[in-house]
């Protein structure tokens, strides 16, 4: 047991980076287009497909085109966002319910004001 805490943290950080632990609010989108060349396969209705991340910044839609190898990381990031948002929403619901219960109790025991 010679590994110091600093080293442990450095290793953990490296692992996080390698896994590309990202959180992305958006959705995966497949761009389909024709390149315009007459003899290309896309002229016969087999369009070129490019993966992209669609997201919003201050109410404006944005599209970030991706390389195929980015797709797994982006999917993971979108999933991580959904999961964490769901957890946060649940926590908020519980806390609002607790606050409401506390206020009602205080009102009941305090008496008088309605
Ligand atoms: Zn084409």
Tell me the per-residue pLDDT of 20-53, one tens digit each, with 9 for 90 and over. 679 999 999 999 999 999 999 999 989 999 999 9
Cα–ligand 1 centroid distance for 11 (angstroms): 46
Give the integer Cα–Cα distance in Å for 95 and 52: 37
Residue 93 pLDDT: 98
Residue 21 pLDDT: 78
Tell me the per-residue pLDDT of 56-91, one tens digit each, with 9 for 90 and over. 999 999 999 999 999 999 999 999 999 999 999 999
Cα–ligand 1 centroid distance for 72 (angstroms): 25
By the 8 A CB rule, do 85 and 31 touch? no
Residue 113 pLDDT: 54
Residue 6 pLDDT: 76
Cα–ligand 1 centroid distance for 69 (angstroms): 21
């Amino acid at each position: 047991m010679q590994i110091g805490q600093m080293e442990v943290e450095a290793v953990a950080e490296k692992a996080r980076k390698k896994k590309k632990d990202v959180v992305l609010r958006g959705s995966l989108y497949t761009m389909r287009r024709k390149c315009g060349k007459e003899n290309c396969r896309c002229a016969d209705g087999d369009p070129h497909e490019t993966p992209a991340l669609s997201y919003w910044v201050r109410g404006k839609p944005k599209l970030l085109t991706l390389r195929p190898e980015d797709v797994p990381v982006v999917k993971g990031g979108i999933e991580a966002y959904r999961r964490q948002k769901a957890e946060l929403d649940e926590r908020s619901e519980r806390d609002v319910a607790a606050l409401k219960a506390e206020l009602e109790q205080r009102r009941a025991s305090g008496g008088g004001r309605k």
